[in-house]
Amino acid sequence: MKNISALILFLILTSPFLKGQQLPENYGNIPDELVAYDKYQKAYKYHFITPIQFYGAGREKLPPKDLKEVRIGFLGPLEGSNIVSLGTQMLQGSMLAIEDANEKGGYNGIPYKLMVHNDVGLWGAAANEIVKMDDEKVWAWLGSIDDIVSHVALRATLKLEIPMICTGDPDPTFTETNIPWVIRNIPDDRQSCYALVDYIFKKKGHSRVAVIRANNRYGRVGTLHFNRSSTRIGYPVIIEERFGDGETDFSTQMERIKKTSPDAILIWGNAKESGLIVNQLRSMGMNQPVFGSDRMVNPEFLNIAGKNASGIVTTCQYNPDSDDPEYKAFKASYMKRFGQEPDVFAAHAYDGMNLIIAAIEKAGLNRALIRDVLTDLKTFQGYDGVTGPMIFDATWNNIRPIFMAEFINGKFKFAPAPPLEKDEAIYKKTNIGY
Amino acid sequence: MKRIFSKKTILYTLILIIIAVLVVLILTMDNKSDDSRKISAADNDYPDFTTIESMEKLARGSELAKGSEQMPVYGNWKTFTEKDGLPSDKVYTVRIDGNRVLAGTHDGLAVYEKGKWRTYTTGDGLAHNGVVSIDVSVNTGDVWIGTLSGLSRWSGGKFETFNQFNSGMPNDLVYNVFCYGNDVWVATGGGAGHYNTFTKEWEIFTEQNAPMHEPWTYALSAGDGKVWIAAWGGGVIEYNTLTKQFRDYVDPDGFMEIDLQPDDGVIHDITTATSYADSILWVSTYFGMSRYDGKFWKGYFDHDSGLASNFINFLRAEGPVVFVCSDNGLSSFNGKTWVTYKKFDNSTDGQAIVKDGNTLVMEMPLSPSIAHNFTIGVDAEDDVLWVATSKGVCRGELLKN
């Protein structure tokens, strides 16, 4: 007892000497057992625990006089991209919010105008579009979906100091750039990966999971935390295969996966390729449970996969079947205006554009002040959008709980992702080799 | 309580405290010896196997290097804003060019000569009014200007534009331009590249032919035959101009949300600038700064050094001193001593904070101080220091005493 007391006293007295170390808090809803290196040592520096500030000038600028329109930028894949259908939904969601605001009188009687820019997915092209937005004198902008485009645009928006809301790119590293000019209202793939790891390994008891993913940044970064987390809990992915955008024959990858005898398969890619992969899996007699990214929650995927979609489980950033009156009103309004159901990109764009409009109406026409309102972690903390609440962390990333989607009886059934199970037996070794 | 404070317990505790203090002292001594080893390695005269560095030194003078055996401190600050003739208060970059000073602003290139500012814009032939980077070729005297939409060469009073449509430029948003020998290097939103002013050919580096996941390059610098590209998200890409080989330096821990060890490599993959001088490579990030002497890395954060802030927009090394433009003050550092310039809120005054490592040496009042704490660009030559900020550009003079 005396020795224990002395040890406690020693630790208390010497703790200030642990040079540079800070008390870790879990950023990004990271489960305790998945905090990087935590089993072995504390990190010297934990980032993203508190939000960084913007110390630059600009708040003193007076609003311009004689404005005829209040411009807000939009960047999305509208032509020349393989995700045009997603970009179109995002544009429509943005348009609906702008139209709603203009019906209410715009900004002090001045109408909002959407300055639409296409992202073609080519390296660097987005940077040029943000410069054009600056030349157009937009007050803030919304976009995009492709994570390459979003990153390139983010760098330009920092240089030009234009507030940005990302409503479609779930790349976890996007907000981990520490840029105080962007917020993201769509939950990211870090949250999806934690939910999938928990569901696949702990709740469903699988141990040999094969991954087939898009051979691009979306696939690589999207599955990053799935791979890391599954390894940390003792079930490393047994094989990872990749495919290119537009690829239609996956037999080579499927053969390699089949030889490893997985007990579950995770697909991470766009709707079309994911649907084709599911069909080829089943045609090869591979009847393992299939899990996937949220991009499977898409009519194109269902059209291609048909009955083969049965039993597939994915994550989804919100509940498209929500009974929330505001969401139902948005859905009805959207269907009336555009003749189709809104998807995840439309709904989050609608919320994101409403955030921009609310920030402008609170802060006035000054980019720095609009930024301040968007990032103060007070004004919009807990904001209830049609997609659900917004719970922003210190990187202004929405870390609200996400949903699981299971395809049953011809439709996706959505349910909140169950709380993550704390695994006391972490770092256990799997007995199954590969 | 009585049991805790029994005589034996107090004795054990005292012994443990003594051991702990000794351990801390030993560790501190180790760090100091590490530092001095790195600095003395840096002080070696590495042979110039090209003449570019010596030409640069000759052209730009070497007074700073001599004077910085003790850290230079600058004062008598003079701020220039729109009221003084700048086209915009938002100044991205500043470069000293002989008897004139070139300032890149959001609304044009401003040139300070004989006490007056003159502005050049697209109306004069500039590629775009947003000027974010400037460098001057020591070979030709040409001024190379990186803008938000194209690269301009200013030569003989005329502007010539290079962009994606009329040249091999990787992207029109030129974040950084750097002249090195006959080459003009650019870091753009779509890759890095260099233009050979003799052959008039471009060579582009992207994820296709260089070890970067994505070609989001943001800044670069060169020296001793190597070019260091700050690849935003990809750490630092080193390119050997003789062997044409690449290697990359990334944060070894592989996680965005932590820095496991500050001295195990570049401290974060989101790099914002590199600068090379006196055989030392300095790397800035939005998470702190790294120093590399060719063998050892050392990381610096605002909590363990004199760094003004971890969010660093830009840095430039001149001789043994690096000037660090952060979002909350300007820091300078020679591997041992820090001098950080900060302006007080709602005042033109401020102070220079001198630290030895993380130990405060003195706070020197400055009246007036730097233009603004959000510093974006810097250039030093002889006994003057120019700083670009988000609220004007300012000029400081070397304080002799």
The ipTM value here is 0.90
Whole-number Å distance between alpha carbons of B127 and B235? 29
CATH-assigned architecture of domain A190-316+403-416: 3-Layer(aba) Sandwich (3.40)
In whole numbers, what is the pLDDT of chain B averaged over residues? 89
Q: How far apart are CA A83 and CA A85, in angstroms?
A: 5
Q: Using 50, 70 and 90 to split pLDDT, how confident is the model at B34? A: very low
| Cα distance between residue B71 and residue B367, in whole Å | 20
Which residue in B245, B365, B318, B401 sits closest to B64, CA to CA? Answer: B318
- All residues of chain A having their beta carbon less than 8 Å from the beta carbon of residue B4 are 2, 5, 9
3-state DSSP assignment of residue A8: helix
Q: Is the pLDDT of residue A23 over 60?
A: no
Quick one: pLDDT band at residue A68, thresholds 50, 70, 90?
A: very high
Interface test with B, best of A21, A50, A52, A123 (most B CBs within 10 A): A123
* Buried-exposed string A368-394: b where 16+ CB fall within 10 A, e elsewhere: bbbbbbbbeeebbeebebbbbebebbb
Average pLDDT of span A253-261: 98
**Over 80: is that where the pLDDT of A249 sits?**
yes
Q: What is the pLDDT of residues A342-397, one digit of tens each?
A: 999 999 999 999 999 999 999 999 999 999 999 999 999 999 999 999 999 999 99
Rounded CA separation A426/A35 (Å): 12
Say what the pLDDT of residue B331 is.
98
pLDDT value at A16 more than 80:
no
Whole-number Å distance between alpha carbons of B164 and B171: 6
Confidence grade of residue A19 (pLDDT, cut at 50, 70, 90): very low
pLDDT in tens, B368-393: 999 999 999 999 998 999 999 999 99
Mean pLDDT of A169-184: 96
- What pLDDT score does B70 carry? 78
Q: How far is A363 from chain B (nearest CA, A)?
A: 21
Q: Read off the pLDDT of each residue in A171-181 and give the average, rounded to a whole number.
A: 96
Arithmetic mean of pLDDT over chain A: 91
pLDDT of residue B8: 73
Choice among A70-74, A266-270, B70-74, B224-228 with the minimum mean pLDDT: B70-74
Provide the β-strand partners of residue B159: B154
Residue A23's CB is within 10 A of a number of other CB atoms, namely 8
In this complex, is the C-beta atom of A57 within 8 Å of any C-beta atom belonging to chain B? yes
Token pair in block for residue A317: 């950033």
- CB-nearest to A44 from B206, B215, B259 is B259
Give the model's pLDDT for residue B9: 74
Q: Taking CB atoms and an 8 Å limit, are A45 and B4 in contact across chains?
A: no
Return the exposure string of B198-232: e unless at least 16 CB atoms fall within 10 Å of the residue's CB, then b.
Answer: eeeebebbbbeebbbbbbbbbbbbbbbbbbbbbbb
CB A87 within 8 A of CB A127: no
How many pairs of residues across A and B have Cβ atoms under 8 Å apart? 180
Q: What is the pLDDT of residue B36?
A: 34
Q: Which residues contact B139 (CB under 8 A, 6 or more apart)?
A: B55, B179, B181, B182, B197
Q: Which of A236, A304, A300 is nearest to A266 (CA)?
A: A236
Of the pLDDT bands very low, low, confident and very high (cuts 50, 70, 90), residue B61 is low
| Alpha-carbon gap, residue B78 to B386, rounded angstroms | 10
Q: Which long-range contacts does A247-253 make (Cβ < 8 Å, 24+ apart)?
A: A247/A273, A248/A276, A249/A280, A250/A212, A250/A276, A250/A277, A250/A280, A251/A280, A251/A284, A253/A212
Residues of chain A with CATH 3.40.50.2300: 70-187+322-389, 190-316+403-416
Closest to A376 (Cα-Cα) out of A363, A357, A366, A361: A363
Tell how far CA A391 is from the center of its chain: 13
Which domains occur in chain B, in start order? Answer: 44-398 (2.130.10.10)
Which pLDDT score, from 0 to 100, does residue B37 have? Answer: 31
Q: What is the pLDDT of residue B341?
A: 98
| A43 with B170: Cβ contact below 8 A | no
Contact B131, B105 (CB under 8 A): yes
Query: Does the structural domain A70-187+322-389 have CATH classification 3.30.930.10?
Result: no
pLDDT in tens, A103-134: 999 999 999 999 999 998 676 789 999 999 99
CA-to-CA dists, residue B229 to A311, B93, B222, B247, B269, angstroms: 48, 18, 9, 11, 12
Q: What is the CA radius of gyration of chain B?
A: 22
Looking at residue A313, its pLDDT comes to 98
**Average of per-residue pLDDT across A191-215:** 96
User: How much of chain A, in percent, has pLDDT values that exceed 90?
Assistant: 84
Is the model more confident about B13 or about A28? A28
Burial category of B247 from C-beta neighbours within 10 Å (exposed 0-12, middle 13-18, buried 19 and up): exposed
| Residue B51: predicted pLDDT | 45
Q: What residue type is A399 in one-letter code?
A: I
Q: Quick one: tokens of B375?
A: 């510093």
Contact B3 A2 (CB under 8 A): yes
Q: How far is A427 from chain B (nearest CA, A)?
A: 19
Is the model's pLDDT at A277 over the cut of 50?
A: yes
On the 0-12 / 13-18 / 19+ scale of CB atoms within 10 A, A313 is buried
Chain A partners of B373 at a C-beta cutoff of 8 Å?
55
pLDDT of residue B11: 76
Q: Is the Cβ of A128 closer than 8 Å to some Cβ of chain B? A: yes
**Residues with Cβ < 8 Å from A358, sequence gap 6 or more?**
A379, A380
- Compute the nearest-CA separation of A327 from chain B (Å): 34
Identify the DSSP state of A318: S
Quote the pLDDT of residue B26: 56
Give yes or no for a contact between B276 and B228, defined as CB atoms under 8 angstroms apart: yes
- The C-alpha of B52 sits at a distance from chain A's nearest C-alpha, in angstroms, of 31
